[in-house]
Chain A
Amino acid sequence: LAKTTQPISMDSYEGQEVNITCSHNNIATNDYITWYQQFPSQGPRFIIQGYKTKVTNEVASLFIPADRKSSTLSLPRVSLSDTAVYYCLVGNTGFQKLVFGTGTRLLVSP
Chain B
Amino acid sequence: DTAVSQTPKYLVTQMGNDKSIKCEQNLGHDTMYWYKQDSKKFLKIMFSYNNKELIINETVPNRFSPKSPDKAHLNLHINSLELGDSAVYFCASSQSGGNTEAFFGQGTRLTVV
Chain A positions within 8 Å of B, measured between CB atoms, are 32, 34, 41-46, 49, 85, 87, 91-92, 94-96, 99-100, 102-103
Q: How many residues of B contact A (CB 8 A)?
A: 28
- CB of B33, distance to nearest CB on chain A (Å): 7
Known: A43-B105, A44-B104, A95-B99. 11 other contacts (CB 8 A): A32-B99, A42-B107, A43-B90, A43-B106, A43-B107, A46-B102, A85-B41, A94-B99, A94-B100, A96-B33, A102-B41
- CB of A38, distance to nearest CB on chain B (Å): 8
Within 8 A of A (CB), among B4-20: 4
**Complex CA distance for A44 and B97, rounded to whole angstroms:** 20
**Complex CA distance for A103 and B50, rounded to whole angstroms:** 27
> Is the Cβ of B96 less than 8 Å from the Cβ of A49?
no
> Is the Cβ of A94 less than 8 Å from the Cβ of B104?
no
Chain B residues in 8 Å Cβ range of A34: 99, 101
B27 in the interface (beta carbon within 8 A):
no
**Complex CA distance for A102 and B44, rounded to whole angstroms:** 10
> Is the Cβ of B101 less than 8 Å from the Cβ of A96?
no
Chain B positions within 8 Å of A, measured between CB atoms, are 4, 31, 33, 35, 41-45, 48, 50, 55-56, 90, 92, 94, 96-107
Please pick, from A42, A85, A91, the residue contacting B99 in the complex, using a CB distance under 8 A: A91
Chain B residues in 8 Å Cβ range of A43: 4, 90, 92, 104-107
**Complex CA distance for A49 and B106, rounded to whole angstroms:** 22
**Complex CA distance for A43 and B90, rounded to whole angstroms:** 7
Chain B residues in 8 Å Cβ range of A100: 35, 42-45
Can you spell out 8 A-B residue pairs with CB atoms less than 8 angstroms apart? A41-B106, A42-B106, A43-B92, A44-B43, A94-B94, A94-B98, A99-B45, A103-B41
Given A43-B90, A45-B104, A85-B41: A96 touches B96 (CB 8 Å cut-off): yes
> Is the Cβ of B55 less than 8 Å from the Cβ of A96?
yes
- CB of B74, distance to nearest CB on chain A (Å): 13
Chain A residues in 8 Å Cβ range of B94: 94-96
